[in-house]
Structure 1
Amino acid sequence: MVSLPARAEVGVGPRSILIGQSAAFSGPSAQQSLEFRAGAHEVFEQVNARGGIHGRQLVMVYRDDRLEPALARRNTERFIKGDKVFALFGYFSTPTVQAVLPLIEQARVPLIAPLSGAQLLRLPVNPLIFNIRASYHQEIEAIVRHLLRYGKGAIAVVYQNDAYGRDGLQGARKALASRGLRPLFEIPVERNSRDTREVARRVALALPDAVLIVSTYGTTSSFIPNLRKQGSDAQVMTVSAVGSDALIRSLPPEHRHGVGISQVVPFPWNPRVPVVRDYQNAIRRNRSGIRYGFSSLEGYIAATLFVRALRAAGPDLTRAGLIRSIEAMGSVNLGGYRVSFSPQRRQGSDFVELTFSMGRDGAFIH
């Protein structure tokens, strides 16, 4: 018999824990969300098969927001008022998370592992939000450091015209300003735009050594061929939120080589890292057939930490208890991937690594 608190918490039943995830499961930005969900599912399925969390099954409710902030807000209202979920997990993108922050605050519902590196989810510290991944500013710092090391100081910035892109622009300005530099050229692009010819033309005219683009994979896969058609051989770099595997698959083979992408999880094809080995073993054991990739590994890691926190919160599960259990984690090694939380720290990992696609098949190296 599972022991319940005198007044059961919202979303916690005798045999279930209800969790909500709103993300882009369709549309031009769907691939990364689908891969993250698949990686997380490997963990949740295994936990449920072994009896759940203190006898309760994890029940995920998924809603598609197509990366549209208004739809994410409606989904979250349904999660909170209709479904009455215990917690939210794995929301994707800065603009959608920004849109639901007032609802999270009002309902006092925790959000675990949003797929965003934006500063607005980190500063000031929000006690209800637990980020696992490193910030975009940390990713861009690593990109700028690499480019300058190889003599590519004339850096143009193409940024999505929303909270995500503007956060990336600020990160680029900050990384360059710390070295007495500034972007060679800055230009916005609309979210999910597939017509980037004019943007590419203007960037090429600036004659950059490198281009940092902070946008979705659909826009980025349009921009790169258009930039090359303008005769520019500038090094193109982007951040993890682009969705590495989705980006490379959406690029024509002749334009896949040499794209640089910062990552916030270890290399998914390297079983020498224990958490990667566990992830690969789970995929084989469950016979799910999902492809190894950065987004599904991030989902696997996020779900692993979430499950750990739920177990630590004990059988009398409450939202406040979940928050306390994560705060009390301190420094944890998830198998070669270290995270650290405290009452003052709401970003678990500072891990950043650069990867590059090689050849016409776009295989990654690191």
Structure 2
Amino acid sequence: MKQYLGALALAATMMSIGAPAAAQLLVGQTSGFTGAAAAGVKENTDGAKLYIDWVNAQGGVHGQSVQLVSLDDKFDPALSAENAKTLIVEKRVLAMFLGRGTPHAQALLPLLAEHRVPMIAPSTGAMALHKPVQPYVFNVRATYQREAERMIRHLSLVSVDRIAVLQVDDSFGADAVQGAMAGFDGIGKSPVMLEKFDRSKPDFSQLAPQVAKSGAQAVLFIGSSGAVAEGTMALRKAGSAAQVVTLSNNAASGFIRLMGDYGRGTIVSQVFPYERSIASPLVKEALELAKARQLDGVSPAMMEGFAAAKVLVEGLRRAGPNPTRERLLAALNGMNRYDIGGMEVSYSMTDHTGLDFADLSIIGSDGKFHR
């Protein structure tokens, strides 16, 4: 009888090897799957799932699968907070993950502190999530301020000095414009025009003619993909041929589709290596997993999600076989020079930036980003 039971145990063990893990590690996500940022949100999440699904297929983390519980906040900060409360209090998720938007992430901060829940890889480069250090926020991308400053300096280097800035009137716009102004200070110039537009109902009927009249050579658009696409069309109709430049929140294939015929030549900042460069181990890994899923490739937004998922999974692994929110927090704070594929992520009690990579790309005639 003992031999029979032993044989059964051995058979069960052999069957479990390589089998998908049971869904046990709950991770919460609230993001705008509908609304102005839907295109980028989908690609962020697709990139994260590319890695999470692969990890689960290999047996998960300590034999437990990672389950991403996603709720649509329609790109509304108030709904973000409601969703997060549901995920944290009712679903008892271990962490929040990959939400989109600056005011949306800020709306979650009180909940994170109250329940001591880490938020990993918010899809925003808001400086307010970097300095001062937010103890429950672990960033996996550079700041918008660094992107905007680099953009202004780049334009100056190619002799583009008459630059207009159009910013969404919210915390994201206020944050990113600080980087742009630092860039202007660095080149000893001022914007020929600096104006805000409404977040929920952007109206460029008055702004676009003003840009055309200003003689701006370039326009830095700080806003969601839908607003930038709408604003670019308004510019062209107003007779402005100004170079359009925007930040990495619009580094998605969906943004290119929204821009349509107006997309070609648009400069978009990037916070991860070139998504078609196999010289980057991180990109090479993502491309191989995408190919196995019969996908054509990955977008910059997918790369952000992919990198975020690698950090999430490593944090869960370091938190041990029975992870809690406290153990995950400790594991993340102890992460030092973790190589996600040619890029090292480090956190400590005094620094939660993670990565500080920034680059520029341009949309080509083929409807793809090029560097």
TM-score by length of 2: 0.90
Please tell me whether residue 191 in structure 1 is matched to residue 196 in structure 2: no
Distance 1:15 1:71 in 2: 26
Distance 2:225 2:349 in 1: 35
Q: Is the 8 A contact 1:204 1:227 kept in 2?
A: yes
Map 1:9-24 onto structure 2 (within 5 A): 16-24=24-32
Q: Is the 8 A contact 1:196 1:219 kept in 2?
A: no
Map 1:41-56 onto structure 2 (within 5 A): 41-56=49-64
The structure 2 residue matched to 1:257, chosen from 254, 261, 264, is 264
The structure 2 residue matched to 1:125, chosen from 111, 120, 133, is 133
The amino acid across from 1:264 in the alignment is: V
Q: Deviations over 1:253-306 (max 9, x none)?
A: 2x222100000011111122111111011112234x375201111111110111
The amino acid across from 1:82 in the alignment is: E
Distance 1:227 1:15 in 2: 49
The amino acid across from 1:25 in the alignment is: F
Q: Considering only aligned residues, what root-mean-square deviation do their CA atoms show, in Å? A: 1.6
Map 1:220-231 onto structure 2 (within 5 A): 220-231=228-239
Distance 1:34 1:259 in 2: 22
Please tell me whether residue 279 in structure 1 is matched to residue 286 in structure 2: yes
* 4+ long deviations beyond 4 Å: none
Please tell me whether residue 154 in structure 1 is matched to residue 187 in structure 2: no
Distance 1:302 1:202 in 2: 40
Q: Deviations over 1:204-263 (max 9, x none)?
A: 22211211110011111111122122222222110001243222111232x222100000
Q: Aligned pairs, how many?
A: 350
Q: Deviations over 1:175-197 (max 9, x none)?
A: 21233332221111122546422
Distance 1:98 1:160 in 2: 16
1:266 matched to which residue of 2? 273
The structure 2 residue matched to 1:324, chosen from 315, 330, 333, is 330
Q: Is the 8 A contact 1:27 1:66 kept in 2?
A: yes
The amino acid across from 1:150 in the alignment is: V
The amino acid across from 1:329 in the alignment is: M
Q: Is the 8 A contact 1:214 1:242 kept in 2?
A: no
Distance 1:297 1:350 in 2: 15
2:12 matched to which residue of 1? none
Q: Is the 8 A contact 1:244 1:261 kept in 2?
A: no
Please tell me whether residue 109 in structure 1 is matched to residue 117 in structure 2: yes
Q: Is the 8 A contact 1:338 1:349 kept in 2?
A: yes
1:206 matched to which residue of 2? 214
Q: Is the 8 A contact 1:172 1:183 kept in 2?
A: no
Unaligned runs of 5+ in 2: 1-21
Distance 1:250 1:192 in 2: 17
Distance 2:26 2:69 in 1: 7
The amino acid across from 1:274 in the alignment is: P
TM-score by length of 1: 0.91
Q: Is the 8 A contact 1:194 1:218 kept in 2?
A: no
The more displaced of 74-83 and 328-337 is: 328-337
Q: Is the 8 A contact 1:134 1:351 kept in 2?
A: yes
1:10 matched to which residue of 2? none
Please tell me whether residue 364 in structure 1 is matched to residue 366 in structure 2: no
The structure 2 residue matched to 1:312, chosen from 318, 343, 354, is 318
2:14 matched to which residue of 1? none
The more displaced of 339-348 and 274-283 is: 339-348
2:9 matched to which residue of 1? none
Q: 1:314 to 1:192 in 2, by over 3 A?
A: same
1:98 matched to which residue of 2? 106
TM-superposed CA distance for 1:363, in Å, is: 2.3
TM-superposed CA distance for 1:324, in Å, is: 2.2
Q: Is the 8 A contact 1:147 1:153 kept in 2?
A: yes
Unaligned runs of 5+ in 1: 1-13
Distance 2:241 2:342 in 1: 36
The more displaced of 137-146 and 329-338 is: 329-338
Q: Is the 8 A contact 1:38 1:290 kept in 2?
A: no
Q: Deviations over 1:72-119 (max 9, x none)?
A: 111011112211111100011001111121111111110000000011
Distance 1:246 1:355 in 2: 15
2:153 matched to which residue of 1? 145
Greater C-alpha radius of gyration: 2
Distance 1:282 1:147 in 2: 36
Distance 1:89 1:230 in 2: 41
The more displaced of 312-321 and 123-132 is: 312-321
Please tell me whether residue 350 in structure 1 is matched to residue 348 in structure 2: no
Percent identity for Structure 1 against Structure 2: 35
Distance 2:335 2:105 in 1: 25
Distance 2:252 2:41 in 1: 12
TM-superposed CA distance for 1:331, in Å, is: 1.7
Q: 1:64 to 1:15 in 2, by over 3 A?
A: closer
